[in-house]
Amino acid sequence: MSEPLLKRILVVEDDPSQGRLLEYWLRTEGYAPTLVGTASEGLLRVQEEHWSLVLSDVDLPGDSGLTLLRESKRFAPRTPVVMMTGHAAASIASEAIARGADGYLLKPLSRDTLLQHVKLRTRGSESVTVLALGVDTPSLAVGCGGTLGRMALLGNEVHLAVLGPIGPMASFPFSGFVELELSEASLYGPELQRCLELEVARIEPDVLFIPSTTAHCAKARMIHLASQAITQTVSAAYAYATSEVLQFAPVRVQPIDEQLEAKLAWMSSLGVDSPTCERVRGRASHWGALTQGHAEAFEVVFQLGR
């Protein structure tokens, strides 16, 4: 699992153990790495999707990383590319820079050096606008509160919209929080879809969060179904779960180590009881097993280029 909700980094590395290590380092810092093993795979992803950074080995099976560098700069000239190699020869570094590389890392890699390069090269990446839809404030806090908080703290514009009362605000710097004005009867007709379409038109989000269709709550399922049309108007749409359901099948996780306690405090202020808070903590530990921390999990409803 990986989490493409923040700055997306394409890692092109044919050594599986090295690739997993890079993924781990990047994911624990809040980035969204995607790993491929060849230059041809990397070029295809560059052509089809937007990336904040391409991190590529020079020595790859088939076409080399330098070929990927050249073609990446042709298809996506504004996307920074940092090359990695185990060769200390100055000629390789010179050739990489001559072909437009934005940085050069010598293996074995240092975690700190790698992250310095990544932070420097992604500093200018555009922020995204996020809209999270939910039945009420507690369900949003339980299902994706940590991820929303993290995205807000990283400078993204995060808006929340719920059917029920708004409730106490979290300590996260959210940009907006509205209660959708709908009658109980209108939740099961076309009015709900029109209302959500208007909210999307007002916010113009890049990323959308909606309840999973596996939710026990009928209103949550209606929001999911009414959102189907608008998920095609955003770059990515993710579904969250507010309770443990066997049918929930996430394929993306987002680390929330630094946001977990703030999320739980928000839940408590909304009246979520202690046993539920502890279950949420346990689920965060379960989903964070890959990053050896805590995480929230999401189903991918739609993702541009996926």
Host domain of residue 108 = 8-122
What mean pLDDT do residues 68-94 have? Answer: 80
- Res 43: pLDDT: 94
- Using pLDDT thresholds of 50, 70 and 90, give the confidence band for residue 126: low
Does the residue 176 lie in any domain?
A: yes
For residue 80, give the nearest of 121, 124, 30 by alpha carbon: 121
Tokens of 213: 């269709």
* Residues 136 and 90 occupy one common structural domain: no
* Residues 28 and 66 occupy one common structural domain: yes
Pick from 85, 104, 122: which residue ends a domain? 122
Question: Per-residue pLDDT for 208 more than 80?
Answer: yes
Does the residue 1 lie in any domain?
A: no
- 139 vs 3, more confident: 139
Pick from 122, 141, 175: which residue ends a domain? 122
- Res 6: pLDDT: 62
* Residues 158 and 191 occupy one common structural domain: yes
CATH of the domain at 77: 3.40.50.2300
Q: Is there a cis peptide before residue 138, judged by omega within 30 degrees of 0?
A: no
How many domains does the chain fold into? 2
CATH of the domain at 183: 3.40.50.10320
Pick from 73, 102, 122: which residue ends a domain? 122
- Res 305: pLDDT: 46
Query: pLDDT by residue (tens digit) across 3-37?
Result: 344 688 999 999 999 999 999 999 888 888 999 99
| pTM for this entry | 0.65
In percent, the amount of the chain with pLDDT more than 90 equals: 52
Mean of all residue pLDDT scores within the chain: 87
- Using CA atoms, how far residue 130 sits from 152, 157, 257, in Å, is 9, 6, 20
Q: What is the SS3 string spanning 19-67?
A: HHHHHHHHHCCCCEEEEECCHHHHHHHHHHCCCCEEEEECCCCCCCHHH
**DSSP label at residue 214:** T
Does the residue 112 lie in any domain?
A: yes
- Using pLDDT thresholds of 50, 70 and 90, give the confidence band for residue 58: very high
- Res 164: pLDDT: 84
